[in-house]
A = this chain, B = another copy of it.
Amino acid sequence: VLGTLQSRHENEKYLPGVRLPDEVVATSDLNRVLAADAVLVAVPAQRLRAALGSLSSAVRPAVPLVLCAKGIERGSGKLVTEILQETAPQASGAVLSGPSFAADVARGKPTAVVIGAQDPAIAGRLQATLSTASFRPYASQDVTGVALGGAAKNVYAIACGIVDGLGLGESARAALLARSFAELMRFGETLGARRETLMGLSGLGDLVLTATSLNSRNYAHGSKLGRGEIRAGATAAHEPLVEGVPTAPALLARAKALSIELPVAEATAAVLDGTLTPRDALIRLMSRPLKTE
């Protein structure tokens, strides 16, 4: 990948057909990376701790680290913002999230995202630097809410993808999405996220995008599971960018430690680890006893 990025200014694997600006330089030299004005850290969540570990001694507060991964760390149950706090506490951290397919951003389609940073000056500076006529970052101080929304939606996108793959219809998918959002709200409030963040771009907006489109890797993964095209556990190792696969058990573990029940996430994790078939998991979810809403 580095080779074609350098020679052809194109990411052939993940963004084929889009010529990147000439100013974009590919390098594996971390010192060169850290000489920038800001660093966007776009490695998968499960590899973030290792990546930050190799950077941490060279990180200076003057160079903000902007976390772009969306996930929860398996084993620790930590959000990406918490991993940064543990590995490079001296860093000026920020987190970028919101409904934004790379293909839409790269093609100049209108995109609105959120930059979360505890320090409003950092968020404001990143906002000014990163914004274009079509890419609109909004600022937030709620780093937990921004990081959580991006992470959890990948799990719920797999769930909604399973509904699609099983052919249960758009009405059922919408009902499941509403229940997923209710889970996200419940979990987020316990973690200290603001309700407004979860109801905004990086929460609801990203959930809606990811959980209704086959252009989402996580939704497509769920759809294939529902259609029986892939088996539980089959692709986790080969598809690091289906962040919902490792995040599902991590989300559940964190929720259990906080005594919160997340039935949709639980059913999704059970499908992913092969404990339940997609059909059994969804039927169990959909046929709970009738009650008040």
Which A residues lie at the B interface, using CB under 8 A?
A: 98-101, 104-105, 107, 109-112, 114, 120, 127, 131, 133, 136-141, 168-175, 177-178, 181-182, 185, 196-197, 199-206, 208-209, 212-213, 215, 282, 286-287, 290-293
State how many angstroms separate the Cβ of A149 from the closest Cβ of chain B: 10
Does the CB pair B174–A208 fall under 8 Å?
Answer: yes
Number of this chain's copies in the complex:
2
Query: Cβ of A293: which chain B residues have Cβ within 8 Å of it?
Result: 114, 138-140, 196-197, 200-202
Does the CB pair A175–B213 fall under 8 Å?
Answer: no
Q: Which of the residues B99, B169, B181 comes within 8 Å of A175, measured between beta carbons?
A: B99
Query: Cβ of A206: which chain B residues have Cβ within 8 Å of it?
Result: 174
Q: How far is the CA of A138 from the CA of B213 in the complex (A)?
A: 27
Q: How far is the CA of A175 from the CA of B137 in the complex (A)?
A: 11
Given contacts A112-B286, A136-B290, 4 further A-B contacts (CB under 8 A): A112-B171, A178-B199, A185-B199, A208-B208
Query: Cβ of A287: which chain B residues have Cβ within 8 Å of it?
Result: 110, 133, 136
Q: How far is the CA of A238 from the CA of B185 in the complex (A)?
A: 41
Does the CB pair B290–A99 fall under 8 Å?
Answer: no
Query: Cβ of A282: which chain B residues have Cβ within 8 Å of it?
Result: 110
Q: How far is the CA of A270 from the CA of B231 in the complex (A)?
A: 49
* 5 CB < 8 A contacts A-B: A98-B175, A107-B169, A111-B171, A174-B209, A175-B201
